[in-house]
Amino acid sequence: MAELGYASGTRRQQVLLLVALNEWIKKNKLTLRQLDRHQLDRFVIDRKRKSSCFVGSGNVVALEKLAQLLRDEGAIPLPPPVKDWRSDIEQEYSQYLLRERSLSLSTEKYYLEYAHQFLVESGLQRSELDQLRATDVTDFIRRHVRDGSPKRAQLMVTSLRSFFRFLRLRGDISKDLADCIPPVANWQLSGIPKFMEPADVKTLLKHCDRKTPKGLRDYALLLLLARLGLRACEVVALTLDDIDWESGKITIHGKGKKRSQFPLPQDVGMAIAKYLRRGRPQCSSRRVFLRTRAPLMGFVSSVNVSSIVSRTLKKAGLNPPCKGAHLLRHTAAVQILRRGSSLGDVGEVLRHVDISTTHGYVQIDMEMKRRALGKCNPIGTNIGLKKLLEKNKDVIGWLESL
């Protein structure tokens, strides 16, 4: 517990809990091998009768952690597996996604979430899966399509198509239910990606209190997002071994288990180094960015990174339409375009697998070229316009498409 950063008072409280558990085991003439879930529940009930503050003190959570530790050490038996046909299908589907489809763990998690939700809401038994009809699927989609953003809805229908193909491959269903799932309209070029102006980015960074460990962490994390345009999941996965200080390079673990190496900007490197020296707590974790409260460990998911962005935006008094980590990724892409780089350069830096993803920045690029043409006023003659286009050949294609 000391290694995980728990305070001395918390450690003492949980040690006293173990003393009480030990005395309870002796009193009931039990052996450690008999300490299963049922006996732990009995101990909790007994402690509740003697102390009204037992539930609110975190003791139940501490007992769960102790039980898991004892199971890992082989001191107490593992709980009997729950016989649930849904769990069997979900486990096999998980292996299919990871081995056959080579999806990342984060994507596999979302796919399993929708598969589990559909199986639970269907209310069917395994032998009844072949009775599913197209209306059962479309009704489920109608109920949940507006639960989140259009992209979230797209993820839902994509994951359901994958799940029904898997069920048909296994022989659980005979109909091709994947083809009955309607697409979700979310045209990539229908809107301009949300981004921040450089002045707002500076304001955001100024509101990180770099006199505190938490402020040092948040400043380094936000600067990394704004300068390199990383995804939140890539920040979560960043380890100490991914930074080569001698060569000034950083390795990014992107989508599809792809690794990319980029130069580490000096200001970002200095911010991370300062956090490592003065703000990062000492622990066994190799993750670069850690929690500031016990247990000291890396972030659980991308949500933690987006929460830091959202919280700092609120502190800085900024209210952009998008408040997650992707806001700074779009901001980095716009800055690349403003420096005169092409859309291809943006896709390379942001590590887009599909070029259609980069096309979302087409409208921003077109607007910049329009402004550039408006600022350059070549005499106002056809000869001047011809000379301008000769110097800016990449503009010709855009003008022809307008």
Q: Decide if 255 is catalytic.
A: yes
DSSP 250: E
Q: Which of 217, 280, 287, 326 is catalytic?
A: 326
Residue 184 contacts residue 157 (beta carbons within 8 Å) = yes
Q: Which of 210, 329, 330, 351 is catalytic?
A: 329
Q: Which of 255, 274, 359, 370 is catalytic?
A: 255
Q: Decide if 330 is catalytic.
A: no
Q: Which of 231, 287, 323, 330 is catalytic?
A: 231
Helix 8-27 and helix 37-50: axis angle, to 10°? 110
Those residues with Cβ within 8 angstroms of residue 211's Cβ, 6 or more apart along the chain or in another chain: none
Q: Which of 217, 227, 323, 352 is catalytic?
A: 352
- Among all chains, which residue has been given the structure tokens 């009809």? 133
Q: Decide if 38 is catalytic.
A: no
Q: Decide if 369 is catalytic.
A: no
DSSP 298: B
CA–CA separation, 379 and 376 (whole Å) = 9
Residue 118 contacts residue 132 (beta carbons within 8 Å) = no
* Amino acid at residue number 237: A
Residue 191 contacts residue 362 (beta carbons within 8 Å) = no
Q: Per-residue DSSP letters for 167-182?
A: HHHHTS--S-GGGGSP
Contacts 24+ apart (CB under 8 A), 162-171: 162/97, 162/101, 162/111, 163/93, 163/111, 163/114, 163/115, 163/118, 164/137, 166/93, 166/96, 167/89, 167/129, 170/92
* Amino acid at residue number 353: V
Residue 285 contacts residue 291 (beta carbons within 8 Å) = no
Count the Cβ atoms, other than its own, within 10 Å of residue 80: 8
Q: Decide if 326 is catalytic.
A: yes
Residue 401: enclosing H or E segment and its boundaries?
Answer: helix 393-401
Partnered with residue 298 across adjacent β-strands are 290
Count the Cβ atoms, other than its own, within 10 Å of residue 82: 7
Q: Decide if 101 is catalytic.
A: no
261 three-class SS: strand
Residue 117 contacts residue 148 (beta carbons within 8 Å) = no
- What are the residue numbers of the active site? 231, 255, 326, 329, 352, 361
